[in-house]
Amino acid sequence: HKSVEQQDIQSLIRMRRLLVTERTRIVNQVRGLISEYGIIMPKGAAAFRKAIPEILENDENQLSCILRELLSHQYERYLYIDEQVKWFDDKLNQTIKQFENAKRLMSIPGFGPLTSQAVAVWLGSGQQFKTGRDASAAMGLVPKQDTSGDKVILLGITKRGNTYIRSLLVHGARAALRRAKFKSDNLSKWMLELQERRGPNRAAVALANKLMRIAWAVITKNEEYRPTQS
């Protein structure tokens, strides 16, 4: 049973997700639209923020008034949604201060405020799972029987339908993999070896599985994650 605070956090995460989807949609629509006029824009939000003002200010690209107005309108909409996403991020940075379980999860590599709160709400007390492996399986990050625990297959959407949290975990795992080379703890060494063997994509999924197990342990034991050195 979720507390009111947990429901609030879930609502914040849900609304933020809708806004991010909408923001991405605007970028993709505008890229598609201007490509029909022969203007090719690189992918990504940073390229979008840089390119649109430049396109609007360029008098020599022969764009019609209507298209300029359309682009200007979409760009304003994008900036407005971007501001709203920042508001949600600020709110989530505030709510985590009162949410002990989520604060503990922040000690795990690759867990920022958003992932920590999403996983903390989803796990609750964690008691519904006997092991971290069960929690990871319920999230759809299921390893095949393999002694090293790094052969991972991604199932389709589980009945619980947590594709979003799963994508946050994999995204966080990618960030942790990028930072692993600057660290000397055992988990970081394992990550780097894994990446060598399996390549970055499969390594990210295998790591997401491991991080989910760590998250379960952090919540059920009520203690922060502490990296071990060999």
Tell me the DSSP string of 43-109: SSHHHHHHHHHHHHH-GGG---HHHHHHHHHHHHHHHHHHHHHHHHHHHHHHHGGG-HHHHHHTTST
Q: Are 76 and 136 contained in the same domain?
A: no
Decide which of 95, 123, 156 is a domain's last residue. Answer: 95
In a domain? residue 214: yes
Range of the domain at 44: 4-95
Same domain, 182 and 106: yes
Residues 19-65 pLDDT 10s: 999 999 999 999 999 999 888 998 888 999 999 999 998 888 788 89
80 shares a domain with 16: yes
pLDDT at position 60? 81
Among 54, 72, 95, the domain boundary falls at 95
Residue 124 resides in a domain:
yes
Q: Are residues 106 and 170 in the same domain?
A: yes
Q: What is the pTM of this model?
A: 0.81
Indicate whether 115 and 214 sit together in one domain: yes
